Amino acid sequence: MLELRKDLFADERDDTLNVVGKSVQRQDMPGHVTARTRFFDDHAFDGLLHLKVVRSPHPHARIRSIDVSAAARAPGVKRVLRAADVPVNKNTLLSLINFGKDDEPALAVDKVCYVGEPVVAVIAESEAAALAARNLVRIEYEPLTPVFDVEEALKPGAPVVNPTYPNNYFEYHERFDHQKLRFGDVEAAFARADIVIEHRYQMSPIEHAPTETNGSIAAPEHNDRYVVHTCAQGLFFSLGTTAKIVNLESNRLHFIGGTVGGGFGGKVDSLTEPLAVLGAMLTGRPVRFVLDREEEMLYGSPRGAERIYIKDGLMRDGRIVARYVRSYFDAGAYTRLSSYAAIKCTAHIPGPYWIPNVASDIHVAYTNRCPSTAMRGFGITAVDFALEVQMDRLAEAAGLDPMEFRILNAYRDGDVKPHRRVAKNTALIECVQVAAEKANWPLSDQARRQSSLVGGGTGARAEIPATVLDQRGQIGRPESRGAPATGTLPAGAMRIPLTKEPVMEGTRDGRAAPVQVPRYAPAPAPGPAGPPPAAAASRPAAPPASSAPPFYPPAPSPAPVAPPPVAPPAAPPTQHGAMRFSSVFGTRRR
């Protein structure tokens, strides 16, 4: 368990929480109200050039020809950039942590995939000259059939949006077509439920609408480096992305951020920095690339649209016994952060409620829309809204007060989640009780006596139920999509440790490095069609959480042969740089 070093951060954290309910002055407030705060666009450079891009007017079209000759001769124009001028003209944001394939060009090459996709960049002495020359670029397009609906995009024969992912879905680890969760036997629970309710929820894209639009200024320095003033929210993400696209060592880039005039997640995509730096490299002068308000609103990466189907099985006493969620993230034309949003969504299901049978299928679909990105809780906010509206509908169907219905189904400490982890520090019951008190909402005496510390982690709430498996004892593989269930993972059997805490290999802060790190036990070996191998059926039940080993050993082989001894893990190699935590994979990385 990693704990905050309170001796080092005493000034940053006060565990007494004595600022709640009090007026506390923000540290940056004086600079904002006196107009002394410096934003990226407040930095003046001699000889500043301005960059503007020519964008696609089509949602989906093949580029037949590009003629920039007139624009290149226009007054004040210093350089016109095309895809061939970009050293590494394909990237995906999460490639910095080796997650996903590079799929988005900085400037379009042979086709465009959404209205507003950058095709040509014009660099000129003034913004007016750049805008005038932009109108002189001639591009011949051959329109292609677009697809705008996530479910239509995933149907066979749909137009291919993103050539890197020709099936129009993100491929997790280059094998899996979506995020999948299975816990218990959902279909059997639906069959015995007194009430089954299913609803569809549709969320629209949302523009962040920051007061300050995306933008940056890049300028050459005398020591063969480039300084970049930017409003990027993730400064090191932006630095790494830019270094890759312009093919420079990262230590030749000096990124300066700090003050962001509104972001909310919409300034993590490095929309301007790579081309601004490339322009500075090719012209030897400072280059400013700022989106105007129209570009920000139309092409500045919104919160992605999400479609969510929720099906619940309910008993007449108000207990939810089954929940199935099917969700589609509209990534737009390219991945950006949608793949991560689907992981967060899967990790959040079924919400803060204990449900003994849960399943979900979370898809990332490519459409001919503007690529979507992060926005305040993305991956969680929309599904939370859908789940809570569904809870109100379930409470009404059961004839129960919606507050008391939530208390009845809430997690309690010790409950086993569908992700095979133990719920800790749960507080939904107390939150509902306080909210009801503040709103003068009447609760029964029984509801007021409930506690998140009582009643959890006992009986079925502490058990891992027998879980239906797909073909060959696996879930999530494209070839098993839609296949009937052929067996079950026995109750208590696990492939993932019950409590898998992040660890640090080879720590240098005085603590001993762990002997073993959590690892996955392999799934049963593929065999002929039929039930899973006998080894799965004979896998012993997991011991209680209090005595659980750091990981469960692989399933024994059905053959009566002693398993080979497991060699101790090799000592971690000497590496440079601090370790960092990856929220995508839940592990430490360098």
* Residue 571 pLDDT > 50: no
- What pLDDT, on a 0 to 100 scale, did the predictor assign at position 222? 87
Catalogue all structural domains in the chain, each as residue range(s) with its CATH number: 49-145+208-299 (3.90.1170.50)
Q: What is the tens place of the pLDDT at every residue in 513-553?
A: 333 333 333 334 444 433 333 333 333 333 333 332 222 22
pLDDT for 76-117, tens place per residue? 999 999 999 999 999 999 999 999 999 999 999 999 999 999
Outline where 450-566 has alpha helix (H): 534-537
**pLDDT class of 14 with cuts at 50, 70, 90:** low
Distance CA 39, CA 45 (A): 14
Measure CA of the first residue to CA of the last residue in the chain; give whole Å.
Answer: 19
User: What share of the chain has pLDDT > 90, as a percent?
Assistant: 72
Q: Which of 3-17, 254-268, 299-313 has the lowest mean pLDDT?
A: 3-17
What is the Cα–Cα distance from 78 to 69, expressed in whole angstroms?
13
Q: Is the pTM of this model over 0.85?
A: no
Helix (H) and strand (E) counts in the chain: 14, 19
Residue 587: strand pairing partners = 582
For 123-162, what is each residue's pLDDT tens digit?
A: 999 999 999 999 999 999 999 999 999 999 999 999 999 9
* Residue that wins the pLDDT comparison between 579 and 237: 237
The mean pLDDT value for 334-356 works out to 97
Residue range 482-522, pLDDT digits in tens: 445 546 667 766 655 544 444 434 433 444 333 333 333 33
SS3 518: coil
By the 8 A CB rule, do 82 and 279 touch?
no
The pLDDT of residue 149 is 98
pLDDT: is 420 or 545 the higher one?
420
Picking from 211-220, 240-249, 566-575, which range would have the lowest pLDDT averaged per residue?
566-575
What whole-number distance in Å separates Cα of residue 11 and Cα of residue 22?
18
Is the distance from CB of 59 to CB of 115 less than 8 angstroms?
Answer: yes
Output the pLDDT for position 492. 65
How are beta strands 580-582 and 487-489 bridged, if at all? unpaired
DSSP string, 164-223: TSTTSB--BTTTBSSEEEEES-HHHHHHH-SEEEEEEEEE--B----SSPSEEEEEE-TT
